[in-house]
Structure 1
């Protein structure tokens, strides 16, 4: 099944690339149609979606289509017919031999593909492609990536090729394996280890952080006993220093920035406006005023309470408090106060609930640092930006004295993150997002690959009423699975691909639970369809071979 999912065993038909009005350059090979003779060897030629006047050498008939080599860019450009084979197409082998690439079968396939799609061809592109392919062991995968780069008119540079190649191998090379490899090679613990641990075990990290939030709430608003026990627990966990007391604990944490606090205020304004919520907004605003006089405790306590109010209304809310105060990750502890908080959180959000999954996804996306470059420019708190995996990898690679093994492993992880970012695209009203991240399901660690396509709203955000999401996940019992979710006008339909027979019978009892959960979230449920991958091809998740099979064998459950 993996071979189908990665797209390596299915032929994919590519549509002709739209002409992008790129300038004509000497040495290029172009496909054109003769429109009208203008005399003096000049002719009106249609190339792609444009018409231009060119000087042609040789006898050409109006209405004839040919491949030409650009002898001079002009104006007007001078075009020379290319020697064709028996089918009227350029002689591929002769062309490659003329630039010293006659024996390269991958470049021959690339050139043939470009000719079929009537893409402009140049010796410069082919030579660059040959150089990239020479440095990769998987020529077929490398060729797929190069074709994709050409379709997006990307420069054929190694700095782009390597990240894209890594991202394209996402299914066969899980991210959690790359992270584990790097963790084992780093001899000294440091910030990057903490970030990688939290990413590799997202559920454990979410539960831990929620429990720490509870400790802060009890330390600031609980009974005298709860305050002292929570303080001692956080000192044991090295979240607060040993010298911390109930009156000075805030001095050991980051001074909140006004921009971050405003983010929490806006989040509070977005939930139902009870008196408690409105009072909390006022307390945060008063805390900001007190901050100007050097009083940080009032705002720190308001931030902790504000988080509690947010979570009472919306349990899946982002943990603004720990971010604003830059609370250290700390260690796990058997302290009774922490264990009590941990148990309360697990009972509240559950392990497989939608709340737990939403919290995990939000935490993962933030900690991965996919928006690292944008946050460097826009964030009001550089320290917050540094607490992402991408930022830590950049810092690690700048350190002197790294071993070759550590450098290679760090570059592999950074290439994967950069590649996913490059594969994501923003095309006018349409947006595509491709991500890969580790995921916990009980004791089973796996990877999730996600590809999301949807419309953008006027404010630039993704329209939740019209979106398609593909998930690829390997489960402990069901193994490789693809979930294809389509949302149209807030009506959800699912296609599930797996190699197991009778999966529809196993899933039938939980369909009502799914329907109920979607309705609570404001969506209607249409149908779920099960497809056996031994009989049909699932959607391809390999971004460089992105195509869908047009015929499915489906087992339907209608609701």
Structure 2
């Protein structure tokens, strides 16, 4: 089974983009095999899949495996000393228990228990470590409720990234490794907070913050917060999706969408898309409907509009333009749009068929719950979503994502330091982020229901984990990792994004040269990885998925090319690949018999540079 659980595997030490190097520091200990001996006490060693040269302070035997301690004073080439009283062994024999105990004795650490288990793990992973690392890691294992086999990869990753060996960091990295969904947990916490909001302003503020964020993350507009199941905002996304299919390029889906609109009473039996567009344009232009038009399309009244008036445009052009910009995230917006589509008649009188907007909404609600077999393909297309449906969030382009990341509070600590340096106190803006409100909520509410406490602590730890995983800055490159909750069907899922790019002189990411990986779990396509590589604004995209390439996949290319062209990018290739071992890039290859991707040291990299 192809696995796309990138976060868990990043915590285990797999970085899909960067090839890691080793940075040996005085006092670190590691196990290596002598591969070549040279005059002047120089030798070449192999540590896992890496080769390095070093000064040795003892006569050693080629082909034997030793434990080394890095000495201070090496210039250019590290100076190593063999640990005393730890007998050498063959590479095939691996780290023997007696050798592990001897190493612990040399380091002055207790033998057995977590110290021995962790040392054995680090030896198998060929990871250099210090005495302090080993002692702190064993203590974290003792404090953790996780099993040793789950704790050790987290500690390994903390060492590899040079993170503080603290309990808070361990919990943050542990939250990253869990299969638990960020979006589903946020939704669960929001619902639980509804029982605590009475007399608890922190709970009310946090609930409102979570509600706003999740509503922006619902491309279908179906998330209802404190509303009844039949409330119309939850249907707005589906309705908008139906309208988009009316003007879509698939004749079969277009006819299915028109059939649903006929059942709703929006258009009469036998009428088609042109009739719908004609009566919609006429309704939009009527003076008595201008209040509804202004609510749905405030940009038309901003005074900044230019171009041909609506009255001079064709019905299809008016329909396409307005449906691409409609804002349905307000109370009553769907009823207003339905009324305009029905010809703008008095809502109490209805249209020529006697139907009212509320009756149409009820019909849509029934269709959504019954989903007749004849329109299941349509429902799948609407659910999977077109890019325009993200307009339901009331945002444009990447502004939605930028605002979402700001609201998550991934710059919380940096802003606090800046304010402290300026001698300023924490302001309200500081708490206007999810991380800030979670911290305040947990600090000021010591007695919480267990479910609420666990959910809030998980979200806080996961946010900190995003920050830690994005700290891996290598020279001129910048590395970011985060997750965005997106509602697919009835549940929230996490869309994981990993972004690597060159940094400009001002520290911002160079949008001309970057790589973005999207990790998704879709209802129909299941686990999917999208690899986007950009060089000089030339874009190549590869989609990795278990199933065969859908017939409609290549039909997306013209639309994708035109959308990218509007942003001054050129699409060079669009590929669909099934993740067979031979076709996958090294960072996406699954390990046979393992449900997780292979660890970094198992990927067969050769000739890595050693950074001293």
Normalising TM by the smaller chain, what interval?
0.5 to 0.7
Contact 1:473 1:481 in 2 (8 A): yes
Q: Distance in 1 between matches of 2:459 and 2:598?
A: 19
1:423 aligns with 2:462: no
Equivalent of 1:197, from 200, 211, 225? 211
1:174 match: 181
**Does 2:528 align with 1:481?**
yes
66 and 502 in structure 1: CA distance in 2 versus 1, 3 angstrom threshold: closer
Q: Choose which of 451, 455, 458 in structure 2 pairs with 1:412.
A: 458
The residue that corresponds to 2:574 in the other structure is: 528
Q: 1:335/1:478 Cα in 2 relative to 1: closer, same or farther (>3 Å)?
A: closer
- Aligned 8 A contact 1:19 1:49 in 2: no
1:401 alignment partner in structure 2: 446
Alignment TM-score, normalising by the size of structure 2:
0.57
Query: Could you tell me which residue of structure 2 aligns to residue 83 of structure 1?
Result: 87
Distance 1:420 1:311, change over 3 A: farther
Q: What SS does the aligned partner of 1:470 have?
A: strand
Which structure carries more relative contact order (alpha carbon 8 Å, separation 6+)? Answer: 2
Counterpart selection for 1:152 from 141, 155, 161: 161
- Partners of 1:457 and 1:312 in 2: CA distance: 35
What is the alpha-carbon distance in structure 2 between the residues aligned to residue 360 and residue 343 of structure 1?
A: 28
CA deviation string 1:95-132 (max 9, x = no partner): 43345454668525423235x35x2453x433433333
Alignment partner, residue 502 of structure 1: 549
Residues 540, 198 of structure 1: alpha-carbon distance in 2 compared, 3 angstrom cutoff: farther
1:107 and 1:427, CA in 2 relative to 1: closer, same or farther beyond 3 A? same
Q: How much does 1:51 deviate?
A: 5.7
Q: 2:66 maps to what in 1?
A: 67
- Between the two proteins, the alignment pairs up a number of residues equal to 427
Question: Out of 376, 381, 389, which is 1:351 matched to?
Answer: 389
Does the aligned pair in 2 maintain the 1:495–1:530 contact within 8 Å?
Answer: yes
Answer whether contact 1:350 1:356 (CA < 8 A) is retained. Answer: no
Correspondence 1:94 to 2:98: yes
How far is 1:49 from its partner? 6.6
**Cα distance change of structure 1 residues 16 and 509 upon mapping to structure 2, 3 Å threshold:** closer
| Residue among 126, 151, 160 paired with 1:142 | 151
Q: Deviations over 1:194-224 (max 9, x none)?
A: 111122221569999xx9xxxxxxxxxxxxx
CA–CA distance in structure 2, aligned partners of residues 373 and 492 of structure 1 = 35
1:416-456, CA deviations, whole angstroms, 9 ceiling, x for partnerless residues? 00001101122220111000121246766322100011111
CA–CA distance in structure 2, aligned partners of residues 90 and 443 of structure 1:
50
Residue number among 507, 514, 525 corresponding to 1:467 in the alignment: 514
Q: CA deviation at 1:89?
A: 7.6
Q: Report deviation, 1:85.
A: 2.5
Aligned residue number for residue 26 of structure 2: 23
* 1:299 alignment partner in structure 2: none
2:555 aligned counterpart, secondary structure: helix
> Does residue 131 in structure 1 map to residue 139 in structure 2?
yes
- Taking the aligned partners of 1:68 and 1:508, their CA distance within structure 2 comes to 56
Shift of 1:475: 1.8
SS in 2 for 1:370: coil
In the TM superposition, residue 182 of structure 1 has moved relative to its aligned partner by: 1.9
Please identify, of 531-540 and 190-199, the stretch whose mean Cα deviation from structure 2 is larger.
Answer: 531-540
Query: Given that residues 492 and 524 in structure 1 are in contact (C-alpha distance below 8 angstroms), is that contact kept between their aligned partners in structure 2?
Result: yes
CA separation in 1, counterparts of 2:469 and 2:303?
Answer: 38
Aligned to 1:366: 406
Distance change in 2, residues 1:340/1:102 (3 Å)? same
Shift of 1:162: 1.3
C-alpha distance in 2 between matches for 1:110 and 1:343: 66
Partner Cα distance (1:18, 1:439) in 2: 37
| More off after superposition, 353-362 vs 467-476 | 353-362
Moved more, 187-196 or 510-519: 187-196
Deviation at 1:368, TM superposition (A): 0.7
Distance 1:342 1:365 in 2: 36
**Inter-partner Cα distance in structure 2 for 1:150 and 1:517:** 43
Cα deviation for residue 514 of structure 1 reads 0.5
| TM-score normalised by length of structure 1 | 0.62
Corresponding residue for 1:382?
A: 427
Verify the 8 A CA contact 1:31 1:120 in the aligned structure 2: no
**Post-superposition CA distance 1:308-327 (Å, at most 9, x none):** 689999xxxxxxxxxxxxxx
